[in-house]
């Protein structure tokens, strides 16, 4: 039986956990520096055996993102990307790597203008497995959740250090695929150090929820992986990879793979 959507995401993360392997979720921005390069990057990332891939669709006002990803979005927008092209890219990738889930990270204005029903329907057809929508709080997610009900695509909500435990439990009940826990207050970006109380927070949250817990924002070093892997089911790595693309351009593929393998070997 072949899984898809939220079930595939959860199954793959749990398979890494059962084998004692680090479940990484790498993030890159689609169309940075262009569509063909993004497809090559995805193939190299797939060779590093990620638990899931978070593929951002560029939006002009990425409020959750720091300078590194903001610059990637500017580079991507110069290519005038369309959501149809994005879904074509996903479909192309999934033909070769059907068992690696891909989650779209974008903002609500994109999918609202595209049409909620159309977004869900075409995402399903393309092989996309889920959505992370940072500016869609659960209190305003009713229309989106109703359209997606029973369709199988994951909706992944973001919890923050400022979120109370009761709120986090409710987010986890609504989330499908995994719960995204933001490690720190602020925006995305590689950090030298992560908050000292982060592991305790993760331990408390993990005991309360039933779906996989993924932590992101700031993860960029082997010591971060060593610190967090006992307390989270998956680790999200974004700005560090986007920085490689900024530096290497279209030739970044091998360096992306090498960096991910270095993180995966942190506990060896």
Longest dimension (CA), the chain: 47
- Cross-strand pairs, 24: 235
Average pLDDT over residues 101-122: 96
pLDDT, mean over the chain: 91
Asked whether the predicted pLDDT for residue 185 surpasses 60, the reply is: no
What confidence tier does 10 reach under pLDDT thresholds 50, 70, 90? Answer: very high
The answer to whether 160 and 189 are in contact (CB under 8 A) is no
Query: What does the pLDDT look like over 128-138, one tens digit per residue?
Result: 999 999 999 99
Angle formed by the axes of helices 35-47 and 253-264, nearest 10°? 30
Please, which residues bridge with residue 26 across strands?
237
The tens digit of pLDDT for each residue in 41-50 reads: 999 999 999 9
42-46, 113-117, 179-183, 244-248: which has the minimum mean pLDDT? 179-183
Q: Read off the pLDDT band of 95 (50, 70, 90).
A: very high
Residues near 83 by beta carbon (within 8 Å), at least 6 away in sequence: 57, 110, 111, 114, 119
Cα distances (angstroms) measured from residue 251 to each of 34, 130, 262? 12, 28, 19
Predicted confidence at residue 244, as pLDDT, reads 97
| pLDDT band at residue 184 using 50, 70 and 90 as cut-offs | low
- Give me the active site residues, please: 54, 65
Across 175-181, average pLDDT: 96
Q: What is the mean predicted confidence (pLDDT) over 169-198?
A: 77
**CATH 3.20.20.70: does it fit domain 5-264?**
yes
Region of 68 (left: φ > 0; alpha: ψ -120 to 50; beta: rest) is alpha
pLDDT of amino acid 199: 86
| pTM of the predicted model as reported, rounded to 2 decimal places | 0.94
């Amino acid at each position: 039986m072949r899984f898809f959507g939220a079930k595939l995401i959860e199954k793959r993360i749990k398979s890494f956990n059962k084998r004692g392997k680090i479940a990484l979720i790498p993030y890159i921005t689609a169309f940075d520096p262009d569509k063909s390069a993004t497809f090559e990057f995805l193939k190299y990332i797939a060779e590093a055996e990620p638990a899931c891939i978070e593929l951002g669709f560029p939006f002009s006002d990425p409020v959750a993102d720091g300078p590194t990803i903001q610059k990637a979005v500017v580079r991507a927008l110069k290519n005038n990307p369309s959501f149809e092209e994005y879904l074509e890219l996903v479909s192309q990738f999934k033909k070769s790597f059907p068992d690696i889930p891909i989650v779209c990270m974008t903002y609500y204005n994109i999918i609202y203008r595209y049409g909620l029903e159309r977004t869900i329907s075409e995402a399903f057809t393309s092989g996309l497995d889920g959505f992370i929508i940072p500016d869609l709080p659960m209190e305003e997610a009713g229309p989106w959740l109703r359209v997606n009900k029973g369709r199988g695509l994951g909706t992944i909500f973001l919890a923050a250090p400022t979120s109370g435990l009761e709120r986090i439990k409710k987010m986890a009940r609504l989330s499908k695929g995994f719960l995204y826990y933001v490690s720190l207050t602020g925006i995305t970006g590689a950090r030298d150090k992560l908050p000292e109380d982060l592991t305790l927070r993760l331990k408390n949250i993990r005991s309360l929820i039933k779906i996989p817990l993924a932590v992101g924002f700031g993860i960029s070093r082997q010591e971060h992986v060593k610190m967090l892997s006992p307390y989270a089911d998956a680790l999200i790595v974004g700005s560090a990879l986007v920085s490689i693309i900024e530096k290497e351009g279209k030739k970044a593929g091998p360096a992306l793979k090498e960096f991910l393998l270095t993180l995966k070997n942190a506990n060896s």
